[in-house]
Amino acid sequence: MSLIFYVLAALSVAGALAAVLLKNTVHCALALTVAFAGLALLFLQLDAQFAGFAQILVYIGAVAILVVFAILLTRGSETPKDGVYSRNWPVGLVIAACVFAVLGWAVLHSMSALPQGTSAVPVVTVLDIGNALMGRYVLPLEIVALLLTAALIGAVIVAMHEKERPK
Amino acid sequence: MISNADQIFVLLQHWLIGFLPPVLRPVAAVLLSAVGIIAVFPTLFALAVWMERKGLARMQNRRGPNRVGPFGLLQPIADGIKSLTKEDIVPLSADAVVHFMAPVVLVVVVFMGIAVLPIGRNMTLVNMDSGLLFFFAMGASTELSVFMAGWSSRNKYSLLGAMRGVAQMISYEVPLLMSSVAVVMITGSLSLDKIVAAQNQYTWGLPHWYIFTPWGLAAFVLFAVAATAETNRSPFDLPEGESELVAGYFTEYSGFKFALFFLGEYVGMLSISGLGTTLFLGGWSAPFSILGFVPSWIWFFAKVMLSICVFIWVRGTLPRMRQDQLMNFAWKFVLPLTLLNLFVAALWRILGDGWQRWVVCSAILLLTYGLMARIGMYREHIGPRKYRYAE
């Protein structure tokens, strides 16, 4: 656990807390982006280049943008007068605590499942990930790729026939 | 054939670091390279602005800047001083923090993207296994800055510009990525250094650049279109269309923050030209094997500035598109063509060395493009082109 880890962890947690506690919804979305960035940097700190960059590309580049778009296009970014806090926030807190407890329990117990004595982290390069995807996991990859391509082409086709050309 | 002139910056860096104790050397090396990038690219930005103003002026029968320095060359410096001394106005209802952060985020992210570009032989600041992925991750983050600027200004024009900008950047990011994936498929690596190395071979004195292959040429054209849209350049400059939206998402920025947006935009242009150069134009490799004695970094920057000239030329030539045309063009035209190109690139790889792959890939692409042109002309009721001279 280095100093960098603590800085990044603090950044992520602060971002996540701000996303929950801030009043303005757009500020919340931007704070969530900070949390995403913190997570991406954590991945990078663990030498997981691919996961880190994919996190930035997908979460900051796409999901965050989708969130702010949704906020702007639906309700407007104006803050309601009585605040954004729900009345039954204690229930949410309990649920969040339960989820956190389960995750924490799972993570802590997975320590014993690891083979003992191999403290050195295996180096997984992007090349290894590519080889694994193209070798052992090629079938799931192809299925996902086919699904996504079909969705993409389907979306284009749905958009393509919006009006008949007047003759 | 690696001369001293080729490695001059690398040697300079080693010489400078030599003065420091060994503990500090890795940090100092990175810092020096970063300082180099931060010094060189704004200089190129100034040069690009000058070129743009001169070039556009020439295309529009004007003279362009010609008062400050020889040929107006010092005009960017005068502009810089002017924007530094101007008052920094923040609208009363603006969201001060986000308003301040937007240009900072843009400039930081854009400069980070440059870090992975191989500027010359042994001259990549951060040589990553997945450099291309990093570049696109940084490119995707600029959208957030555009949104932050537009939203925080509390101005209808800003917000409209930001919405247009973000929608456009998301749409064109897909073809941008897809056209680059073809290069990754052929090279078998996401590392930009390896992509350049794969192109840095010569047959009969001619280079193996990807633009000289059928799929590479098609991918390069699609990449150039998507890159133009991604950098909000004309004819895709709707987000800042001055006739409709004042200045789009940075309408409410003045003084040096405006200059930062300007800087971010041009450095973004330079960096995406650098990526295009790296992916398709052989990066820092010479166009003929005889010219290998010219330092590699000169080739890189020459190619980048040539791309900038094309950007300026296109801006001076084409009218601005409409928003619906822009979206239709991205999703219904460029995207299917990039998918086809991926298929062609896969065929190229499968067919292996030999003349067959040239014939098959060229035939597929030519047939598709020719057919599409014919069908498009038939649908739009455009016959063969007629020329009318002064009658």
Q: Considering only the beta carbons, identify the residue of B137, B144, B189 that sits closest to A57.
A: B137
As beta bridge partners, residue B202 has B207
List, for residues A4-42, the tens digit of each pLDDT value. 888 888 989 998 888 888 777 788 888 888 898 898 888
In whole angstroms, what is the distance from residue B116 CA to residue B133 CA? Answer: 10
Burial classification of residue A73, based on how many CB atoms lie within 10 Å of its CB (0-12 exposed, 13-18 middle, 19 or more buried)? exposed
Write the DSSP assignment of B126-170 as a string of letters: S--TTHHHHHHHHHHHHHHHHHHHHHHTT-HHHHHHHHHHHHHHH
| pLDDT surpasses 90 at A101 | yes
The encoded tokens of residue B256 equal: 């040096």
Task: Enter the ipTM.
Answer: 0.74
Residue B69 confidence class, pLDDT cut points 50, 70, 90: confident
Between vectors from CA B180 to CA B340 and to CA B276, what angle results, nearest 5°?
125
pLDDT confidence of residue B112: 87
Q: Give percent above pLDDT 70 in chain B.
A: 98
> Which residues of chain A are within 8 Å of residue B332 when distances are taken between CB atoms?
156, 159-160
Residue A119 confidence class, pLDDT cut points 50, 70, 90: low
In whole angstroms, what is the distance from residue B95 CA to residue B302 CA? Answer: 42
- Structural contact between residues B56 and B311, judged by C-beta atoms closer than 8 angstroms: no
Token pair 């529009």: residue: B60
In whole angstroms, what is the distance from residue B182 CA to residue B338 CA? Answer: 9
Spell out the alpha helix ranges (H) of chain B: 8-17, 25-59, 75-85, 96-114, 131-152, 156-187, 192-199, 214-230, 242-245, 255-280, 296-317, 323-328, 335-351, 356-379
| pLDDT surpasses 90 at A87 | no
Token pair 């649920």: residue: A95
Global confidence as pTM: 0.83
* Average pLDDT of the segment spanning B297-317: 88
Mean pLDDT of chain A: 80
Mean pLDDT of chain B: 83
As beta bridge partners, residue B203 has B206
Task: Single out the residue of B110, B171, B174, B165 nearest to residue B143, CA to CA.
Answer: B165
> Which residues of chain B are within 8 Å of residue A133 when distances are taken between CB atoms?
none
* Average pLDDT of the segment spanning B171-190: 87
pLDDT confidence of residue B329: 84
Token pair 């993570």: residue: A107
Q: Which of A150-164, B28-42, B145-159 has the lowest mean pLDDT?
A: A150-164
List, for residues B360-377, the tens digit of each pLDDT value. 888 888 898 888 888 888
Domain parsing of chain A, residue ranges: 1-79, 123-167
List, for residues B327-339, the tens digit of each pLDDT value. 888 887 888 889 8
Residue B141 confidence class, pLDDT cut points 50, 70, 90: confident
pLDDT confidence of residue B119: 84
Task: Single out the residue of B81, B85, B276, B305 nearest to residue B179, CA to CA.
Answer: B276
For residue B337, give the amino acid letter: L
Domain A1-79 has CATH 1.20.120.1200: yes
Q: Give percent above pLDDT 90 in chain B.
A: 3
* Average pLDDT of the segment spanning A142-159: 85
Token pair 């000289």: residue: B212
pLDDT confidence of residue A103: 92
pLDDT confidence of residue B146: 87
Locate the chain A residue with the closest alpha carbon to B148.
A30
More confident residue, A80 or A61: A61
pLDDT confidence of residue A166: 55
* Average pLDDT of the segment spanning A87-97: 86
| pLDDT surpasses 80 at A147 | yes
Positive or negative, the Cα torsion across B2, B6, B12, B13?
negative
- Treating both helix axes as pointing N-terminal to C-terminal, what angle do B255-280 and B156-187 enclose, rounded to 10 degrees? 20
In whole angstroms, what is the distance from residue B146 CA to residue B165 CA? Answer: 7
> Which residues of chain A are within 8 Å of residue B95 when distances are taken between CB atoms?
24, 27
Q: Considering only the beta carbons, identify the residue of A26, A62, A127 that sits closest to B129.
A: A127
Locate the chain A residue with the closest alpha carbon to B337.
A153
List, for residues A41-79, the tens digit of each pLDDT value. 888 888 778 888 888 888 888 888 888 888 877 765 566
Between vectors from CA B296 to CA B294 and to CA B300, what angle results, nearest 5°?
115
- Structural contact between residues B280 and B192, judged by C-beta atoms closer than 8 angstroms: no
The encoded tokens of residue B148 equal: 């932050």
pLDDT confidence of residue A115: 64
- Structural contact between residues B318 and B235, judged by C-beta atoms closer than 8 angstroms: yes
Tell me how close the Cα of A55 comes to any Cα of chain B, in angstroms.
8
> What's the DSSP call for residue B125?
S
Contact at CB, B190 and A149, closer than 8 angstroms: no
pLDDT confidence of residue B76: 85
In angstroms, how far is the first alpha carbon of chain B from the final one?
61
Q: Considering only the beta carbons, identify the residue of A26, A65, A155 that sits closest to B170.
A: A65
Of A32, A43, A50, A53, which to mutate for an interface test with B (greatest number of B Cβ within 10 Å)?
A53
A52 CB neighbour count, 10 Å cutoff: 22
| pLDDT surpasses 70 at B320 | yes
Q: Give percent above pLDDT 70 in chain A.
A: 80
